[in-house]
Amino acid sequence: MSNRIQYDRQNTKINQTITNLLTNVKQEFAVAPGAKKYVKFVKLFMKLLNDVDHDAQQLPRTIIYTSSNEQAKSLCCYLNTKLKLPALAVNPDITDKQLEEVFSKCQNKELPILIFKSRIFDWIISDIDLVINYTLPTDIVEYCRRLDCIIHKKCITIVSTDADRLLLQQIKNIIEINGGNPPESLKAVFTFYEGNFEEYLRDFKTVDSWIDLLDED
């Protein structure tokens, strides 16, 4: 009986968290499989730079979530070397004290871009402007824990696999069950390519040079 109560409480917490996040935080969802995912990321930061006249100190305080440390390092390397942006792929073994120092640098914009393999923080992180889900977690509990510990103004999620879409279907269902209205870009994930997401993923051909995709919308 106690396990059932705990399960119900967890579900209630998840429902509340999802509804709050998707209602009170500006959300954008974009489909970008294969090479397009990397290009979507690059174009986003090009736009952010242009918006602030290439003044890195004016960039939004940003946390990026990835699926692996290697992926975090790769994205960070591009931002550092190609776009000359102050970004850090945060070591997963960093201590809480060191992490507090890193977040302090982020909040004062000395180091505005932090990249993590999906990580849960033991305290609430405040004053973050943007969260980017470069990759989504595999389950809704981790999704909630990932975002609920960060007070942020906007979240951008890149959808690149059918597993991503299955997770987002759960999220969409929760919002609708609770009487909310899912963001238009989330609804669009399920009508994209006439609703046949699996066919789109099969048809998509990775371009030899991802840079060729930079001119695409």
pLDDT, one tens digit per residue, over 63-94 is: 999 988 999 999 999 999 999 999 999 998 88
Residue 46 confidence (pLDDT) above 70: yes
pLDDT at 65: 94
Cβ-based neighbour number of residue 186 at 10 Å = 20
For the chain, the structural domain boundaries read 26-215
Question: Measured between alpha carbons, how far is 64 from 75 in angstroms, rounded to an integer?
Answer: 9
Residue 105 confidence (pLDDT) above 90: yes
- Dmax (CA) for the chain in angstroms is 59
pLDDT, one tens digit per residue, over 108-150 is: 999 999 999 876 677 788 889 999 999 998 889 888 888 888 8
pLDDT at 10: 67
As a whole-number percent, the residues of the chain with pLDDT over 70 amount to 86
pLDDT at 204: 62
CB 45 within 8 A of CB 64: no
Which CATH superfamily does the domain covering 26-215 fall into? P-loop containing nucleotide triphosphate hydrolases (3.40.50.300)
